[in-house]
Amino acid sequence: MTLLPDHQGRRVAIAGIGRTEFNRDSGKSVGSLALSAAKSAILDAGLERDDIDGVGGVFCSDHPTVWPGYVVGGLGLNDIRWSSSSAPPSAAIVLEGINAVAAGACETALCYHAKYRWDVTSTSVRNDPMRQSPPMTFDPHFCRPLVSHCPGANGFAANMRRHMHEFGSTREHFGMLAVNGRTHAQRNEDAIFYGSPITLSDYLDAPRTIDPFTLFDMDMPIDAATAVIVTTLERARDLPHRPVVVEAGAFGASRKTDQIFQPFDGYFGAKVVMDTLWQRCGYKPEELDVVNLYDGFSVIAMDWLEAAFCTRGEGAGLLSDSWNEHTGQIRLPGGAVVNPHGGNLSEGRTQGMGQILEAVLQLQDRAGVRQVPDARLALATNAANPIDVALILRADS
């Protein structure tokens, strides 16, 4: 996006967040969830609804989502000067909102994502008439033609098999990522798997779904909505919470993006993003305090880990060096905590917004019992090639 002349160089911050409960059956519509999270974010930022002049949401036809017009009408917003919608992941619409504020297209943007379990993502609801996708729903992952218990996971399971074959990673390494998230989720009462810890042995003994995947390698579909408020740093400093400064953000895509008809690989897009981020922000990986890796599947977290902290094929060694078998946690070089909220695998499937919300809470010193001491710099990554997005966020001094 080209910056408007009068707004060249405007600093941007996240000023507030909102969310609904995360559960398997909310009893609410996806629209109701979206409005609830959006209202919560506005109040959390200490704003009135008339302060919002930009609205962006995750909206796509292969998921039950809510377009921005619904939120504008449902909240009674007026004089909206910027609006947009984006396919998942969640960070895509957040970065669009950041760009809009930086460019002066709006002053304060509400960015949200509402999720709702239905038949193409959750096998347990395929007989629920209220959770059936329309027959003509756009189906980019070919979930219906591929008669399978978990069709959307096929490409990612193949990616994991190939990583193990080419680079010598093992199921133990992917289990470290899964167990780390579940361990941290035991201190997150909002997590869908709060109260359900697992060990590395539990992971290794679990039945396979699509070899080498088990259910522990796959995020949990939920009903939920999440939202953030993006505004200028100058304005955020007048609001109740410590501003979370956007140091850098980047999109990325590269080769091998098809998850059905060619050897899919999520690493290449993540590498584009991370190379761009490190160049833009000037920080080094070891300076991070919190690292929230996208883990819609455990192998995606491996892709991001290698793109951000080492090189292709070195992730298994990095995990072995960073794993504490006594605590069931990963601590990266420099001491960074990985997914202190539990990640998508254990907090629930927010398609990446959980990674952003947790980074904000940590940098605002509002994470409660899971607070990382003196957290000042965080990385939040989202998705897998071709829509890769990541943010480097900093606590305002």
DSSP code per residue over 136-195: T---TT-TTTS-SSSGGGHHHHHHHHHHHHHH---HHHHHHHHHHHHHHHTT-TTSTTTT
* Coil, helix or strand at residue 119: coil
Separation in Å, CA 26 to CA 37, 115, 117, 186, 263:
13, 11, 10, 21, 37
Pairing of strands 388-395, 377-382: antiparallel
Query: Nearest-CA neighbor of 63 among 128, 8, 118, 26?
Result: 118
Taking the C-alpha atoms of residue 395 and residue 382, their distance in angstroms, rounded to an integer, is 20
What is the DSSP annotation of 294-325? --SBHHHHHHHHHHHHS-TT-HHHHHHHHEET
Domains and CATH numbers, the chain: 5-118+222-236 (3.40.47.10), 151-217+247-397 (3.40.47.10)
Which H/E stretch holds residue 44? helix 30-44
Query: Nearest-CA neighbor of 299 among 394, 169, 180, 196?
Result: 169
Placement of tokens 């953030």 in the chain? 228
Which H/E stretch holds residue 276? helix 267-281
Backbone angles phi, psi at 76, to 5 degrees: 70, 35
pLDDT at residue 187, as a whole number: 98
List b or e across 258-286, with b for residues whose CB sees 16 or more CB atoms inside 10 angstroms: ebeeeebbbbbbbbbbbebbbeebebebe
Query: Nearest-CA neighbor of 114 among 158, 57, 152?
Result: 57
Residues in a beta bridge with 232? 12
pLDDT at residue 4, as a whole number: 40
Residue 24 in tokens = 């398997």
pLDDT at residue 136, as a whole number: 55
Q: Which amino acid is residue 112, in one-letter code?
A: Y
Walk along the chain (397 residues) in steps of 10 and give the mean pLDDT of each run. 49 98 90 97 98 94 80 97 93 97 97 82 69 60 51 82 96 98 98 98 96 94 95 98 98 80 82 96 96 97 97 97 98 96 96 97 98 98 90 97
Backbone angles phi, psi at 157, to 5 degrees: -65, -40
Separation in Å, CA 339 to CA 171, 271, 276, 345:
19, 20, 22, 10
Taking the C-alpha atoms of residue 296 and residue 353, their distance in angstroms, rounded to an integer, is 11
Residue 163 in tokens = 């990583």
pLDDT at residue 181, as a whole number: 98
Taking the C-alpha atoms of residue 110 and residue 94, their distance in angstroms, rounded to an integer, is 9
Q: What is the pTM of this model?
A: 0.92
Separation in Å, CA 82 to CA 24, 78, 267, 358:
33, 11, 33, 26
What is the DSSP annotation of 59-104? --TTS----HHHHHHHHT-----EEEEE-S-HHHHHHHHHHHHHHT
Residue 74 in tokens = 């449902």
